[in-house]
Amino acid sequence: MKEIRWHGRGGQGAKTAAQLLAMAALDSGKAVQAFPEFGPERSGAPMQAYNRIDGAPIRRRFAVQHPDVVVVLDSSLLQEVEVAAGLGPDGLLLVNADGRPGDIRSQLRYEGDVLCVPADRLAAQVGARFTNIVMLGALAAALGAPPPAALEEATRRLLATKLSPAALESTLAALAAGHRFLAQEETPGGRVVCLR
Protein backbone atom coordinates (compact mmCIF):
# COMPACT_ATOMS: atom_id res chain seq x y z
CA MET A 1 0.00 0.00 0.00
CA LYS A 2 1.17 3.51 -0.79
CA GLU A 3 0.14 6.24 1.64
CA ILE A 4 0.41 9.88 0.63
CA ARG A 5 -0.09 13.01 2.69
CA TRP A 6 -0.70 16.38 1.04
CA HIS A 7 0.07 19.65 2.84
CA GLY A 8 -1.42 22.88 1.58
CA ARG A 9 -3.49 25.84 2.59
CA GLY A 10 -7.24 26.09 2.29
CA GLY A 11 -8.03 27.02 -1.31
CA GLN A 12 -4.81 25.65 -2.83
CA GLY A 13 -6.42 22.44 -4.05
CA ALA A 14 -4.84 19.68 -1.93
CA LYS A 15 -8.25 18.05 -1.58
CA THR A 16 -8.85 18.24 -5.35
CA ALA A 17 -5.40 16.83 -6.16
CA ALA A 18 -5.94 13.91 -3.77
CA GLN A 19 -9.35 13.26 -5.32
CA LEU A 20 -7.93 13.32 -8.85
CA LEU A 21 -5.13 10.93 -7.89
CA ALA A 22 -7.67 8.54 -6.38
CA MET A 23 -9.96 8.72 -9.43
CA ALA A 24 -7.09 7.96 -11.81
CA ALA A 25 -5.79 5.11 -9.64
CA LEU A 26 -9.30 3.67 -9.34
CA ASP A 27 -9.67 3.78 -13.13
CA SER A 28 -6.36 1.86 -13.28
CA GLY A 29 -7.81 -0.92 -11.15
CA LYS A 30 -6.53 0.06 -7.71
CA ALA A 31 -8.36 0.30 -4.40
CA VAL A 32 -8.20 3.91 -3.20
CA GLN A 33 -9.00 6.39 -0.47
CA ALA A 34 -8.91 10.18 -0.68
CA PHE A 35 -10.02 12.48 2.13
CA PRO A 36 -9.16 15.89 3.57
CA GLU A 37 -8.53 17.03 7.13
CA PHE A 38 -9.18 20.67 7.94
CA GLY A 39 -8.31 22.71 10.98
CA PRO A 40 -10.03 26.09 11.07
CA GLU A 41 -12.00 26.04 7.85
CA ARG A 42 -10.87 29.22 6.20
CA SER A 43 -8.96 30.11 3.11
CA GLY A 44 -5.23 30.16 3.73
CA ALA A 45 -5.27 27.96 6.85
CA PRO A 46 -2.95 24.92 6.80
CA MET A 47 -4.78 21.71 5.89
CA GLN A 48 -3.97 18.17 4.91
CA ALA A 49 -5.38 15.63 2.49
CA TYR A 50 -4.61 11.95 2.25
CA ASN A 51 -4.46 9.12 -0.26
CA ARG A 52 -4.14 5.41 0.16
CA ILE A 53 -3.64 3.27 -2.95
CA ASP A 54 -3.38 -0.49 -3.00
CA GLY A 55 -4.07 -3.52 -5.12
CA ALA A 56 -6.32 -4.98 -2.39
CA PRO A 57 -9.25 -3.53 -0.43
CA ILE A 58 -8.17 -0.89 2.10
CA ARG A 59 -9.43 -1.36 5.65
CA ARG A 60 -7.73 1.57 7.35
CA ARG A 61 -10.02 4.45 8.24
CA PHE A 62 -7.79 7.04 9.86
CA ALA A 63 -5.41 9.81 8.86
CA VAL A 64 -2.13 8.81 7.23
CA GLN A 65 0.44 8.92 10.00
CA HIS A 66 3.40 7.19 8.33
CA PRO A 67 3.28 8.26 4.69
CA ASP A 68 5.47 6.93 1.91
CA VAL A 69 5.27 10.31 0.17
CA VAL A 70 4.51 13.82 1.42
CA VAL A 71 3.55 16.52 -1.08
CA VAL A 72 3.90 20.16 0.01
CA LEU A 73 1.97 22.63 -2.15
CA ASP A 74 3.23 25.77 -0.38
CA SER A 75 6.85 26.00 0.79
CA SER A 76 5.91 28.54 3.49
CA LEU A 77 4.40 25.57 5.35
CA LEU A 78 7.91 24.23 5.93
CA GLN A 79 8.25 26.79 8.73
CA GLU A 80 4.75 26.27 10.16
CA VAL A 81 3.95 22.56 9.99
CA GLU A 82 5.98 19.43 10.67
CA VAL A 83 5.56 18.22 7.11
CA ALA A 84 8.05 15.37 7.49
CA ALA A 85 6.36 13.95 10.62
CA GLY A 86 6.08 10.18 10.29
CA LEU A 87 7.94 10.13 6.97
CA GLY A 88 10.65 7.47 7.15
CA PRO A 89 14.15 7.76 5.69
CA ASP A 90 13.03 5.65 2.72
CA GLY A 91 10.19 8.07 1.95
CA LEU A 92 9.94 10.98 -0.45
CA LEU A 93 9.23 14.65 0.29
CA LEU A 94 8.00 16.45 -2.83
CA VAL A 95 8.00 20.24 -2.38
CA ASN A 96 6.74 23.10 -4.52
CA ALA A 97 9.97 25.09 -4.43
CA ASP A 98 12.71 26.48 -6.63
CA GLY A 99 15.16 25.78 -3.82
CA ARG A 100 17.76 23.10 -3.49
CA PRO A 101 16.67 19.78 -1.95
CA GLY A 102 19.72 19.73 0.33
CA ASP A 103 18.66 23.02 1.94
CA ILE A 104 15.19 21.68 2.69
CA ARG A 105 16.59 18.40 3.97
CA SER A 106 18.86 20.32 6.37
CA GLN A 107 16.11 22.72 7.44
CA LEU A 108 13.75 19.87 8.31
CA ARG A 109 16.46 17.51 9.55
CA TYR A 110 15.00 14.88 7.27
CA GLU A 111 17.30 12.13 6.00
CA GLY A 112 15.20 10.83 3.09
CA ASP A 113 14.78 11.95 -0.49
CA VAL A 114 13.61 15.51 -1.17
CA LEU A 115 12.59 16.64 -4.65
CA CYS A 116 11.83 20.26 -5.50
CA VAL A 117 9.37 21.08 -8.26
CA PRO A 118 9.10 24.75 -9.34
CA ALA A 119 5.33 24.37 -9.61
CA ASP A 120 4.57 28.11 -9.38
CA ARG A 121 6.81 28.79 -12.36
CA LEU A 122 5.59 25.78 -14.36
CA ALA A 123 1.94 26.70 -13.79
CA ALA A 124 2.58 30.29 -14.86
CA GLN A 125 4.33 29.14 -18.05
CA VAL A 126 1.20 27.30 -19.21
CA GLY A 127 -1.28 29.90 -17.96
CA ALA A 128 -2.66 27.77 -15.10
CA ARG A 129 -3.93 29.40 -11.91
CA PHE A 130 -3.10 26.66 -9.41
CA THR A 131 0.02 24.65 -8.65
CA ASN A 132 -1.76 21.62 -7.18
CA ILE A 133 -2.17 20.09 -10.63
CA VAL A 134 1.53 20.56 -11.44
CA MET A 135 2.38 18.78 -8.20
CA LEU A 136 -0.10 16.01 -9.03
CA GLY A 137 1.66 15.40 -12.35
CA ALA A 138 5.04 15.37 -10.61
CA LEU A 139 3.77 12.95 -7.96
CA ALA A 140 2.49 10.55 -10.62
CA ALA A 141 5.91 10.65 -12.31
CA ALA A 142 7.62 9.92 -8.97
CA LEU A 143 5.26 7.04 -8.22
CA GLY A 144 5.40 5.64 -11.74
CA ALA A 145 1.57 5.59 -11.81
CA PRO A 146 -1.20 6.33 -12.55
CA PRO A 147 -0.40 6.93 -16.20
CA PRO A 148 -0.75 10.46 -17.58
CA ALA A 149 -3.76 9.46 -19.71
CA ALA A 150 -5.66 8.27 -16.62
CA LEU A 151 -4.87 11.51 -14.77
CA GLU A 152 -5.97 13.57 -17.77
CA GLU A 153 -9.25 11.66 -18.02
CA ALA A 154 -9.93 12.07 -14.28
CA THR A 155 -9.17 15.79 -14.54
CA ARG A 156 -11.56 16.21 -17.45
CA ARG A 157 -14.33 14.33 -15.62
CA LEU A 158 -13.98 16.24 -12.36
CA LEU A 159 -13.24 19.73 -13.63
CA ALA A 160 -14.94 20.03 -17.04
CA THR A 161 -18.10 21.51 -15.50
CA LYS A 162 -16.19 23.76 -13.09
CA LEU A 163 -13.75 25.37 -15.53
CA SER A 164 -14.04 27.16 -18.84
CA PRO A 165 -12.66 25.21 -21.82
CA ALA A 166 -9.57 27.44 -21.86
CA ALA A 167 -8.96 27.00 -18.12
CA LEU A 168 -9.38 23.24 -18.45
CA GLU A 169 -6.80 23.12 -21.23
CA SER A 170 -4.29 25.14 -19.18
CA THR A 171 -4.97 22.83 -16.22
CA LEU A 172 -4.21 19.79 -18.39
CA ALA A 173 -1.06 21.52 -19.62
CA ALA A 174 -0.05 22.08 -15.97
CA LEU A 175 -0.56 18.38 -15.26
CA ALA A 176 1.67 17.45 -18.19
CA ALA A 177 4.29 20.03 -17.18
CA GLY A 178 4.59 18.58 -13.68
CA HIS A 179 4.84 15.03 -14.98
CA ARG A 180 7.37 16.02 -17.64
CA PHE A 181 9.50 17.99 -15.16
CA LEU A 182 9.89 15.15 -12.69
CA ALA A 183 10.18 12.46 -15.36
CA GLN A 184 13.23 14.35 -16.65
CA GLU A 185 14.76 14.89 -13.21
CA GLU A 186 17.28 12.48 -11.76
CA THR A 187 15.91 11.39 -8.42
CA PRO A 188 18.27 11.12 -5.43
CA GLY A 189 20.04 7.78 -5.60
CA GLY A 190 18.59 7.33 -9.10
CA ARG A 191 15.45 5.71 -7.75
CA VAL A 192 11.78 6.33 -8.25
CA VAL A 193 9.14 5.56 -5.62
CA CYS A 194 7.15 3.09 -7.69
CA LEU A 195 3.46 2.47 -7.12
CA ARG A 196 2.80 -1.26 -7.24
> What tens digit of pLDDT does each residue of 34-74 get?
999 876 666 678 999 999 999 999 999 889 999 999 999 99
Cβ neighbours of residue 60 closer than 8 Å, sequence gap 6 or more: 33, 52
Cβ neighbours of residue 116 closer than 8 Å, sequence gap 6 or more: 95, 96, 97, 98, 99, 100, 101, 104
Residues 67-123: pLDDT tens digits?
A: 999 999 999 999 999 999 999 999 999 999 987 888 999 899 998 999 999 999 999
Q: Is the pLDDT of residue 195 over 60?
A: no
CATH number of 2-186: 3.40.920.10
pLDDT at position 1:
93
What is the arithmetic mean of pLDDT over 143-150? 93
Q: Is the pLDDT of residue 179 over 90?
A: yes
